[in-house]
Amino acid sequence: MAQEKTESKNQKKRNNETVKHVQLERKRPKLSKVNDSKQSNNNNSKKKPRRRKPAQEKRDPKAVLRIIPLGGLDAIGKNMTVFECKNDMVLDDAGLMFPDDDHPGIDLILPDYTYVLENADKLRGIIITHGHEDHTGALPYLLKDLDRQVPIYATKLTLGLIEGKLKEHKIKNAKLCEVKPGQVIDLGCIKAEFFSVNHSIPDAVGVFYRSPAGNVLHMGDFKLDQSPIDGIQTDFAALARFSKEGVDLMLSDSTNATNPNFTPSEAEVGKALDTIISGAKGRVIVASFASHIHRMQQICDAAVKNGRKVAVTGRSMVQNTDIARRLGYLNISDNDIIDAYDLKGMPPDSYVVMCTGSQGEPLSALARIAGGNHKTISIEEGDTVIISATPVPGNEKAVTRVVNSLAKIGADVYDKSRARVHVSGHAGAEELKLVLSIVRPQAFLPVHGEATHLRAHANLAKDTGVEAENIYILENGESIELSPQGIKIGEAVPSGIVLVDGLSVGDTSEAVLHERSSLGAQGVASIACAIDRSKHELISPVVVEMHGIPGGDDHELVKAVQNAVSSAIKRSLSKQESWKETKKVARSALLSVLWERTNQRPLVIVNILEL
């Protein structure tokens, strides 16, 4: 029952998209309460592990390290976590999330970083673990809002991608600091050590935080690919060393916690790409994420191996290709890569097009190619299209629309359901358990996932020996307080989302989104007239306009609506009702007629001029 109440409370917080300032005085319910009895019996037979005391760092009995996830615990995106100890604060990642059908007209979704701005004087640095948008995308907006320069720590490629992003936002003089795996930096009383992890983008790292209150391991995004494209594996030796030193709390990527298997190697995709390209008769078009440098490398390798040039199209794909080549992370000779404008006149079987659009974005390169609207690239029957990505939840319909457009043309379309043209960059359940077994954390906090993923990862931690009372499933804005005396739930901070709508950041409200949804679903009707309030008379005809409503151009329907609204306004005036009440009855009269005639309830705009 306690568990149900907690989950109900958390659901309400998600719906409101904010977390109130509350003090959580008791511990979370043990996970064993929501697991099966077999698990509970196993826990009873285990001895509670003794707290390990790190040998290298002195503990301050009065020190408290607060860990506050501001994003990433309700969705796969907008990752942002605060580490705060004494008068020092470190921000780990600053990501965004792309909107779905519930956010019409919205361009981007950011985590609410109000707490960071309120404590900006404590902020010693921003650490970015890798170059994906869900970890870097909010950074330009955060930097604009901060009133002082804060150092940004990241690896070489990640900084290159960030630098390009900051240029787009016209942010100058950002303090970008390159770090390397194995390096330790001092951020006040917090020390951060970086270690290599394998992911779907080069130069990804995890971070081991040491503080006077205890040690925290943040894995970042990772998988355990033992045959990586760039030869860099997740650093098992570092994980074993951290385990020996003592990991008081571990934060780990939960994206694939529900996948019971090992995630296949990225090298498997290269084999599939080579097979498809070698057998293709016409042009080949491959759509993938612009930040997936490993995938781009394999596309280039397969193209060159089969005697084809590589053309790149799509703004972000062109930009990231240039950055990755300049920094040495994408290897293809100048002779083998060409501009998309040079394709005119070339035989279709002589090149591969590498483009954006794997998520079905309407303005992406692939969508424009499928619709026949691309400036330089066309597609014909018999051409091959490879969608080398998995649709992000919410994008399935958009991807299907593009695939159907390609099928109508006669293109041969490959996606992961037909061939292994994509593998995940996140560890599956068996890999997650392996890492947990190596690290042996005292306490565990699953991050980077939806509620299903977090819960599944928590159960994996329990399976590997972490005590149920030491496993925490939080909401964005809630906090954990780590001290030499142990771990407890701390006070919550403001959280939620910030909507980016064109040039507007944070000004679009839930009410605006509701209006947009109503417009799209039911249409809009407007009422306009003039009244003399002193004489209680309607002094102009009522004008009604309807758009997006079945029968909205039917003269008889429009006349019926106008008569009903006129009568309602006259009755309200005769009763000397308020202006607000008059608007209300006018709206009700219109909706009543439309519901009776069309079963529609559009958005209604009432404009009554008082003279």
Six-digit token string for 202: 């080069």
DSSP lists the bridge partners of residue 110 as: 498
Sign of CA dihedral 429, 435, 441, 447: negative
- Considering the candidates 426, 448, 453, 457, report the single residue annotated as catalytic: 426
Q: Residue for token digits 């890569």?
A: 337
Contact 522, 549 (CB under 8 A): yes
Residue 516: φ, ψ to 5°: -65, -40
- Give CA torsion, residues 510, 511, 515, 518, to 10 deg: 70
Helices 429-439, 236-245: inter-axial angle, 10-degree rounding:
40
Q: Report which secondary-structure segment, H or E, holds 309.
A: strand 309-313
Report d(CA 53, CA 37) in Å as an integer: 33
Angle at 447 between CA 15 and CA 451, to 5 degrees: 40
Region class of 2: left (phi > 0), else alpha (psi between -120 and 50), else beta: alpha
If you count DSSP H runs as helices and E runs as strands, how many of each does the chain have, helices first? 17, 27
Query: Does 253 participate in catalysis according to the annotation?
Result: yes
Partners of 352 in the beta sheet? Answer: 284, 310
For β-strands 337-339 and 309-313, DSSP reports them as parallel
Task: Report which residue type is found at 70.
Answer: L
CB 252 within 8 A of CB 435: yes
What three-state secondary structure class fits 335?
helix
The DSSP call for residue 469 is: G
Tell me how far apart the terminal alpha carbons of the chain are, to the nearest angstrom. Answer: 61
- Identify whether the C-beta of residue 382 lies closer than 8 Å to the C-beta of residue 410: yes
Phi and psi dihedrals of 152, rounded to 5?
Answer: -115, 120
Which of 92, 112, 221, 253 is flagged as catalytic?
253
Sign of CA dihedral 391, 397, 401, 403: positive
Retrieve residue 207's tokens: 């971070």
Under a CB-based contact definition with an 8 Å cutoff, are residues 294 and 227 in contact?
no
Three-state SS annotation for 174-227: CCEEECCCCCEEEECCEEEEEEECECCCCCCEEEEEEECCEEEEECCCCECCCC
* Integer angstrom CA distances of residue 525 from 518, 551, 607: 11, 12, 11
Whether residue 426 lies in the annotated active site: yes
Instruction: State the Cα–Cα distance between residues 45 and 134, nearest whole angstrom.
Output: 41
Give the number of other Cβ atoms within 10 Å of residue 507's Cβ.
12
Q: What does the alpha-carbon distance between residue 120 and residue 114 come to, in Å, rounded to a whole number?
A: 10
* Nearest-10 crossing angle of helices 315-326, 156-168: 140
Distance CA 3, CA 34 (A): 8
Q: Which residues pair with 91 in a beta bridge?
A: 82, 126
Tokens 């319910």 found at: 29
**Taking a C-beta distance cutoff of 8 angstroms, is the pair 353, 339 a contact?**
no
DSSP-derived 3-state class of residue 36: coil
Q: What is the set of active-site residues?
A: 253, 426
